[in-house]
Amino acid sequence: MKKAVVLLSGGLDSTTTLAIAKSEGFEVYALSFNYGQRHKIELELAEKNAEIFEVKKQLTVEFNMRDIGGSALTDDIEVPKNGTDNNKDNEIPITYVPARNTIFLSFALSWAESIGAGDIYIGANAVDYSGYPDCRPEYIKAFEDMANLATKISVEGNLKFHICTPLIRLSKAEIINKGIELNVDYSQTWSCYDPVFMKELGKHVPCLKCDSCILRAKGFEDAGVIDPLL
Amino acid sequence: MKKAVVLLSGGLDSTTTLAIAKSEGFEVYALSFNYGQRHKIELELAEKNAEIFEVKKQLTVEFNMRDIGGSALTDDIEVPKNGTDNNKDNEIPITYVPARNTIFLSFALSWAESIGAGDIYIGANAVDYSGYPDCRPEYIKAFEDMANLATKISVEGNLKFHICTPLIRLSKAEIINKGIELNVDYSQTWSCYDPVFMKELGKHVPCLKCDSCILRAKGFEDAGVIDPLL
């Protein structure tokens, strides 16, 4: 059985990506990160989905990006609540975390080499997204080229790495429809960057105002499906 | 004053690299990693050299590569003591840590973007080295290309990243001579992968048998200098 490492944040995109990797017959190694993000709640859902989709192993790597700084997702900078308005000026929003996907993919590469997995899945999307540079196909291709020069297993000719981005050209609605087809339970996924704790409910709820909430809401609307998280 | 991030392990190569970056007039941000390495002793020396060379800031990022596995430097696998013999078969030795430099450079890239540093220094060497794939010029070039597609600051045209490898074509003896010229105190650097604790001395001493010890010894011999660490 061929092995794949899947980056799993517990969000809508990465959970759908996990379902796709499983449907393609891979033995899945799910990799998550506790990096000081505001929305740590996503990690519980990553673990839950790892269980639901019966991955071979789930690993959460911990490090602190707060020391590095430069993002509203890890710093004491307010998460913008003007939705995707940011993109109107073609500006990359402040929720961008410097080189985050590069760090994530580097750990994935390390684990993939260690276990002998040639395929690394990431739920990057370049259609309904916030404009992050490290979600674009040209970036993914450059990482893949680098990965095959970086590693003992590839340089010795024993394995070639492939960065798999099954969502990259899909709209959010298409992603949701694909996930439903593959039995993803979207009530068990989290997208909001800035969760609000509701005392009355005793739990966190999405803010419904950040970029990520707005992209998610638009996706469900376009797909003609009610978001089961709400 | 232009800023540079310097990867600083506390070893001979990275400390020389730090001295070079300083001599080139950069304001230096030194980045070290506590990743579960056997030879954690190097971290104290990294901090000491950061102080000696008056860096602007020193940051140690912590994460655990033991969970990822695949290396004698982090696993319970014995560090080979046949010296550079490994290289006779052109085999990459088991002390190779999967994708380690890629992880290190990714964090450096993140910090560099956050503080606005275009130059990232790494003491990679492709002459007197253990044959690690992620020390070769073609790898460094691929990482640099990827970095400039990965980041907001480069994609928006505000900064271009350059991965600086001043040691890459130097022999170990040339590195040592360069360092001495720049006032590096090599008694404050550590190379051994598998330090031995000497009860009589109350401190760790180099094993003198691992690849890294042998390359260091040969370097000092070729340079005609006594290693002040011994």
Q: Is B111 on the interface with A (CB under 8 A)?
A: yes
Q: A63, B63: Cβ pair inside 8 Å? A: yes
Nearest to residue B162, comparing CAs of B190, B209, B120, B198?
Answer: B120
A-chain residues within 8 Å CB-CB of B134? Answer: 149-151
Q: What is the pLDDT of residue A151?
A: 96
Is the pLDDT confidence value at B175 over 60? yes
What confidence score (pLDDT) does residue A101 get?
Answer: 96
The pLDDT tens digits for A149-161 are: 999 999 999 999 9
Say if the Cβ atoms of B107 and A68 lie within 8 Å: yes
A69 CB neighbours in chain B (<8 A) are 114-115
pLDDT of residue A60: 95
Domains and CATH numbers, chain A: 3-223 (3.40.50.620)
pLDDT range class, residue A38, cuts 50, 70, 90: confident
Mutate which: B102, B138, B140, vs A, most A CBs within 10 A:
B102
CB atoms within 10 A of CB B157: 7
Residue-wise pLDDT tens digits, B62-85: 998 888 887 777 777 778 776 554
Q: B143 touching A, CB under 8 A? A: yes
| Closest CB from B69, B113, B139 relative to A114 | B69
Q: Are A220 and A226 in contact (CB under 8 A)?
A: yes
ipTM value = 0.92
By the CB < 8 Å criterion, does A29 face chain B?
no
CB–CB of B64 and A59 under 8 A? no
* Pairwise CB contact (< 8 Å): B102 & A113: no
Q: How far apart are CA B222 and CA B15, in angstroms?
A: 19
State mean pLDDT over B144-153: 97
Is the minimum CB–CB distance between A89 and chain B shorter than 8 Å? Answer: no
Cβ-nearest to B114 among A63, A98, A146: A98
pLDDT of A39 > 80? The answer is no
- Give the pLDDT of residue B90: 61
Which B-chain residues 162-201 have CB contacts (< 8 A) with chain A?
A: none
Residues of A with CB below 8 A from B150's CB?
A: 99, 101-102, 133-134, 139, 142-143
Distance to chain B for A187, nearest Cα, Å: 30
In the prediction, which pLDDT does A85 show?
44
Q: Do A103 and B110 touch (CB under 8 A)?
A: yes
DSSP labels, chain B: --EEEEE--SSHHHHHHHHHHHHTTPEEEEEEEESS-TTTHHHHHHHHHHHHTT-SEEEEEE---TTT---TTTSSSPPP-SGGGGGGGTPPPTTPPTTHHHHHHHHHHHHHHHHT--EEE----SSSS---GGGSHHHHHHHHHHHHHH-HHHHTTS---EEE-TTTT--HHHHHHHHHHTT--GGG----SS-EEETTTTEEE--S-SHHHHHHHHHHHHHT---TT-
At B86, is the pLDDT very low, low, confident or very high (cuts 50, 70, 90)? Answer: very low
For residue A84, the model assigns a pLDDT of 52
- How high is the mean pLDDT of chain A? 91
Residues in chain A with CB shorter than 8 Å from the CB of B144 are none
Residues B99-126 pLDDT 10s: 999 999 999 999 999 999 999 999 999 9
Question: What is the predicted pLDDT for the residue at B78?
Answer: 78
| Greater pLDDT, A46 or A42 | A46
Mean pLDDT across A16-37: 96
Residues of A in contact with B138 (CB under 8 A): 149
pLDDT for residue B203: 87
Assess whether pLDDT exceeds 70 at residue A83: no
CA–CA min distance A218, chain B (Å): 25
> Where residue A76 falls among pLDDT bands split at 50, 70, 90?
confident
| Chain segment A1-15, per-residue pLDDT in tens | 899 999 999 999 999
Residue A86 pLDDT more than 50?
A: no
> pLDDT band at residue A82, thresholds of 50, 70 and 90?
low
The mean pLDDT of A102-126, rounded to a whole number, is 97
Amino acid B129: pLDDT: 79
Q: Looking at chain A, which residue has its C-alpha nearest residue B150?
A: A134
Q: What span, in angstroms and rounded, lies between the C-alpha atoms of B164 and B217?
A: 26
Q: Residue B89 above 60 pLDDT?
A: no
Best mean pLDDT range from A121-135, A175-189, B36-50, B194-208: A175-189
For residue B5, give the chain A residue with the closest CA.
Answer: A68
